[in-house]
């Protein structure tokens, strides 16, 4: 179990070390007491983690397959609890609200209960930083545990790009630095693009972090278009698109674009879906606005398309996402983006695999003796992977159904409950707020479509569970809950 403790301590230490820029923001705004509080919270968090690391430094810390699964689940359950302390202390939230805020940030779900109009910029920057860090943790989780374990049918082949061995779960500091460097570089590029597009520095920094993490947290109230014009929206869409693509494929795209698109059909599918969704949104926006200013309409449409496919939920102004039928929007969000990315949802790879597998089964009804291998690009999908994919799909639908039932009974009507359940599971919380009916938009406290801040504690606890399950790809939780295995070891 020392390996599990090591993972938790490292995750906590890095998270609280990232509070340093927020402290500088507080100092720059002349909020000395807040800066001191943030510095103390960060220092105590780092110190506590270093104390744990120091106490186990002289012992072996193996991290095998089973303990790797346990470490991942423990990290996504316990690190948000630790992060909740910072939101409780610095933002004055209740314990349940602080826990909900921390889970929403680390799972990149994007929902928030912070009063963004009055909250200090330093706290907003810390909230964006935690969401950015959550996206990074998700990449590490997929690369080191979920894909090597084949959870939900995820292919482990690309894992060898880093380690050369798909079953190795040992933490390697060099790999950690490589992924972090790549992640920070992309964030910096989006930040520069937003700055050149006219967005002010703090907002550009926060939005660049959110875009790469495919999160949905915006550090201000009101419409995005008030702070980011058409060019900035295009940059933000590009950042979300980068976050939607596999972390491995980003490098290949830069090295050999032609081979990249030829060998990676998932990226082609994602690109086509974004373009098709953007086209129909542009047509809808054009009809509503009278067809004027095609440039801003195109920028808005592309941002909404990448936001939905990337399970972010960001929109240029309130009401844009709601121009499409709710069911269509929820289906796009539930499908999600690419494997090895920070997006939520089922992932395009699984949807295509299920479609190809279903087509083969139908074909065998006509040609029982026919033998057809399932492929998606260069990836061969065997029967074991297909069983895992179908199992993941069935469990996911059950979780969404039970979550919708719990939310309907405790907080919303049926439509609001199913919308919130899908938004939580796909880590796309702002979609729930984007689809709120006009009748409830001006009435935040109601029993049909309430805002997150006004929901009862039971609904927030349901949201915490569903967001965590969606981020953990569901099946690994059931693997860790195998009591018979742990009792025999």
| Residue whose pair of structure tokens reads 């995820």 in the numeric block | 154
Task: Encode pLDDT of 301-312 as tens digits.
Answer: 999 999 999 999
Q: Is the pLDDT of residue 131 over 80?
A: yes
Cα(146)–Cα(155) distance, rounded to whole angstroms? 9
User: Which pLDDT tens digit goes with each residue over 150-186?
Assistant: 777 777 544 433 333 333 444 455 556 777 888 898 8
Task: Calculate ∠ Cα 455-461-465, nearest 5°.
Answer: 130
- For residues 49 and 231, what is the distance between their CA atoms, to the nearest angstrom? 42
Asked if residues 416 and 399 have their Cβ atoms less than 8 Å apart, the reply is no
Domain spans in the chain, listed from the N-terminal domain onward: 367-487
Instruction: Encode pLDDT of 321-336 as tens digits.
Output: 988 888 999 999 999 8
Provide the residue count of the chain. Answer: 489
| pLDDT greater than 60 at residue 339 | yes
Per-residue tokens: 144: 């080191």
- What is the mean predicted confidence (pLDDT) over 72-100? 93
pLDDT digits (tens, 9 = 90+) for 13-25: 999 999 999 999 9
Angle between helices 65-91 and 2-17 (to 10 degrees): 30
The confidence score (pLDDT) of residue 19 equals 94
pTM of the full predicted structure?
0.89
β-bridge mates for residue 375, sequence order? 380
Tens digit of pLDDT for each residue in 202-221? 999 999 999 999 999 999 88
Query: Rounded CA gap, 471 and 424, in Å?
Result: 10
User: Which pLDDT score is estimated for 120?
Assistant: 92
59: left (phi over 0), alpha (psi -120 to 50) or beta: beta
Contact 471, 107 (CB under 8 A): yes
DSSP 414-427: HHHHHHHHHHHHTT
300 Ramachandran zone, left/alpha/beta (phi>0; psi -120 to 50): alpha
pLDDT given at position 167: 39
Inter-residue contact 282 to 298 (CB < 8 Å): yes
- Which residue, 411, 404, 424, is CA-closest to 110? 424
**H or E element that contains 439:** helix 438-441
């Amino acid at each position: 179990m020392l390996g599990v403790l090591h993972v938790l301590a490292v995750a906590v230490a890095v998270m609280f070390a990232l509070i340093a820029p927020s402290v500088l923001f507080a100092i720059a705004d002349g909020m000395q007491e807040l800066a001191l509080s943030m510095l103390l919270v960060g220092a105590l968090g780092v110190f506590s983690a270093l104390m744990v690391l120091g106490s186990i430094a002289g012992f072996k810390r193996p991290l095998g397959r089973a303990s790797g699964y346990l470490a991942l689940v423990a990290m996504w359950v316990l690190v948000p609890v630790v992060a909740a302390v910072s939101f409780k202390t610095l933002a004055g939230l209740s314990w349940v609200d602080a826990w909900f805020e921390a889970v929403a940030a680390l799972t990149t779900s994007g929902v928030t209960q912070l009063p963004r109009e009055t909250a200090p910029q330093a706290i907003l920057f810390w909230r964006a930083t935690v969401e950015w860090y959550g996206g990074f943790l998700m990449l590490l989780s997929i690369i080191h545990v979920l894909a090597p374990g084949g959870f939900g049918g995820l292919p482990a082949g690309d894992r060898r790009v880093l380690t050369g061995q798909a079953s190795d779960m040992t933490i390697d500091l060099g790999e950690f630095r490589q992924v972090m460097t790549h992640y920070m570089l992309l964030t910096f590029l989006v930040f520069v693009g937003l700055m050149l597009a006219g967005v002010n520095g703090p907002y550009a920094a926060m939005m660049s972090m959110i875009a790469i993490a495919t999160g949905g947290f915006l550090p201000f109230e009101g419409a995005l278009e008030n702070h980011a014009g058409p060019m900035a929206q295009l940059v933000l869409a590009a950042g979300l698109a980068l976050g939607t693509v596999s972390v491995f494929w980003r490098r290949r795209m830069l090295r050999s674009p032609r081979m990249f698109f030829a060998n990676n059909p998932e990226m082609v599918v994602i690109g086509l879906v974004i373009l098709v969704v953007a086209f129909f949104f542009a047509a809808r926006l054009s009809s509503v606005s009278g067809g004027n200013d095609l440039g801003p309409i195109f920028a808005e449409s592309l941002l909404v398309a990448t936001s939905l496919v990337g399970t972010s939920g960001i929109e240029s102004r309130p009401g844009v996402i709601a121009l499409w039928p709710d069911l269509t929007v929820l289906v796009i969000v539930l499908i999600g983006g690419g494997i090895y990315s920070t997006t939520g949802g089922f992932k395009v790879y699984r949807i295509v695999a299920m479609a190809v597998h279903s087509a083969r089964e139908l074909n065998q009804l006509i040609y029982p003796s026919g033998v057809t291998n399932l492929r998606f690009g260069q990836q061969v999908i065997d029967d074991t992977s297909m069983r895992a994919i179908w199992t993941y799909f069935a469990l996911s639908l059950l979780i969404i159904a039970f979550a919708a039932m719990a939310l309907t009974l405790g907080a919303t009507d049926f439509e609001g409950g199913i919308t919130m359940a899908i938004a939580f599971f796909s880590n796309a919380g702002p979609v729930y707020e984007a689809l709120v009916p006009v009748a409830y938009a001006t009435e935040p406290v109601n029993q049909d479509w309430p805002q997150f801040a006004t929901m009862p504690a039971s609904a927030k606890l349901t949201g915490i569970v569903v967001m965590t399950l969606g981020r953990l790809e569901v099946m690994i939780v059931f693997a860790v809950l195998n009591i018979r295995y742990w009792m025999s070891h």
